Amino acid sequence: MDPLRNPFSPGAGSRPPELAGREDIVSAANVALGRVVMGRSAQSQIFLGLRGTGKTVLLNEVLEIAERSNYLTSFIETPENKSLTEMLYPQMRQVLRKLSNLEAAKQSARSAFRVLRSFASTFKIAIGDVEIGIDPELGTADSGNLEIDLAEIFEAVGNAAKSAGKGWALLIDEVQYLDDEELSAVIVAVHRMSQRNLPVMVFAGGLPQVAKLSGDAKSYAERLFVYPEIGALDASAAREAIQKPLRSEGVDIIPEALDVVINKTGGYPFFLQEWGHHAWNTASQSPITLDDVNKASQKALERLDSGFFRVRLDRLTRAEIDYVKAMAVLGRGPYKVNDVAQALGMEPKALGPRRASIIKKGMIYAPSYGDIDFTVPLFDDFLRRTRF
């Protein structure tokens, strides 16, 4: 059918034609944002899930809700090689600039700018023209200890937002790339916001690794955040994800064909978009048949093997590929670290650094102590069907 009218949207962070199965998560975020900007309490949230489950899409949804709920918003994606402070600084500056245009927040935004200035010089962040004339606030956000200073700058921004009757929502994607010190600092800062009753919320998204938090940050983290699990869609939501966009284009799919899509994709959002996309392009007319879907499956897999899966594999060294291959040969995950070591004929300890490096690259994660699994759904199938 006409590719111009294809409603599906495979791709990282692309808004799906139908945000299926996430009603509860969206409405909980809505309530939490609404409460906090009114001065009531609610927990910040970290969306945890594998690649392609829709975390970035949800963060964007939350961003829109926040904007409608009287928040100023900042969205950062944690890069692998840049510090949190560098990413946050321009975002906080922009929020303060907006606030300083509001009469009610002029004063507090100005003092927050001074705190931001000392934060920037403490963490050696290059500053913009605006701040050159601003004196740093001595003794605030300049200890050099990120846990202390981040809480202080958050407090300054939170106060400025509050004086304008607004909130500040900070969205952090790929949160697993924050280092331990940064993650602890964010948690301590969120704790400060809730203690001071400031209208600041953090929503984050990341891979479901076991948080390596320690000390205060750890005990706060359990109470301060909720961790909605973003997984595969259940069968009925997965059906909706395919059927609704088709219907709005006046197209049907026969039930057996839809079953195959649900089955092959495991209900994973990214794969649903990919299958929907190919099924549409393959079919010559409505309804989409079983034969269309079978052909589409072939194409979808080819595209995943040379794209989504391949690019991830290409980031691994030869030894790391041997490691993940040994996992896949064991079947479906999660895998015991000891079993993988045995399959490779090595001591688990000796493989520690290799495993850590693959985890750092975001390919595998530890769902619980002594276990390991892939961060990309269906990656084990890919490794089993592909020769290297």
Ligand X SMILES: Nc1ncnc2c1ncn2[C@@H]1O[C@H](COP(=O)(O)OP(=O)(O)O)[C@@H](O)[C@H]1O
Residues that bind Mg ion (CB under 5 A): 56
Question: CB under 5 to 8 A by kind: which of Mg ion, ligand X, none does 9 bind?
Answer: ligand X
137 binds, among Mg ion, ligand X, none (CB under 5 to 8 A by kind): none
- Nearest residue to ligand X, scored by beta-carbon proximity: 54
Q: State whether residue 112 is helix, strand or coil.
A: helix
Q: Determine the 3-state secondary structure of 122 from DSSP.
A: helix
DSSP state of 210: P
Residue nearest to Mg ion (CB): 56
377 Rama sector, left if φ>0, alpha if ψ -120 to 50, beta otherwise: beta
DSSP codes of every residue in 281-327: HH-SSSSB-HHHHHHHHHHHHHHHHHTHHHHHHTTS-HHHHHHHHHH
Q: Which residues contact 157 (CB under 8 A, 6 or more apart)?
A: 92, 95, 96, 112, 116, 168, 200
Q: How far is the CB of 242 from ligand X (least distance, A)?
A: 9
**Which DSSP state fits 212?**
-
- Out of ligand X, Mg ion, none, what residue 53 binds, judged by CB under 5 to 8 A for its kind, is ligand X
Smallest gap from residue 9 Cβ to ligand X (A): 5
Q: How far is CA 382 from CA 97, 207, 310, 331, in A?
A: 48, 20, 9, 12
Q: With CB cut-offs between 5 and 8 Å by kind, which of ligand X, Mg ion, none does residue 276 bind? A: none
Q: Measured in whole angstroms, how far is the alpha carbon of residue 231 from the centre of its chain?
A: 12
The least distance separating Mg ion from the CB of residue 84, rounded to whole angstroms, comes to 18
Could you tell me the smallest distance in angstroms from the CB atom of residue 10 to ligand X? Answer: 5
**Choice between 220 and 308, CB closer to ligand X:** 308
Contact in structure between 332 and 380 (CB atoms under 8 Å): yes
Nearer to Mg ion (CB atom), residue 56 or residue 140: 56
Compute the distance between CA of residue 107 and CA of residue 45 in angstroms, rounded to an integer.
31
Residue closer to ligand X, measured from CB, 54 or 199: 54
**Most distant CA atoms of the chain, gap in Å:** 71
- We find the least distance from the C-beta atom of residue 224 to ligand X, in angstroms, to be 22
Q: Would you tell me which residues interact with ligand X (CB under 6 A)?
A: 9-14, 16, 18-22, 49, 51-57, 241, 269-270, 272-273
49 binds, among ligand X, Mg ion, none (CB under 5 to 8 A by kind): ligand X
The nearer residue to ligand X, 158 or 276, going by C-beta atoms, is: 276
| Complex with ligand X: residue 113 or 275, whichever CB lies closer | 275
Q: Is the CB of 217 or the CB of 261 nearer to ligand X?
A: 261
Work out how close the CB of 59 gets to ligand X at its nearest, in angstroms, rounded to a whole number. 8
In this structure, what are the phi and psi dihedrals at residue 179, rounded to the nearest 5 degrees? -80, 170
To Mg ion, the closest distance from the beta carbon of 174 in angstroms equals 7
Q: Which does 31 bind (CB under 5 to 8 A by kind): ligand X, Mg ion, none?
A: none
**Based on CB atoms, which residue is closest to Mg ion, 172 or 344?**
172
d(CA 262, CA 272): 8
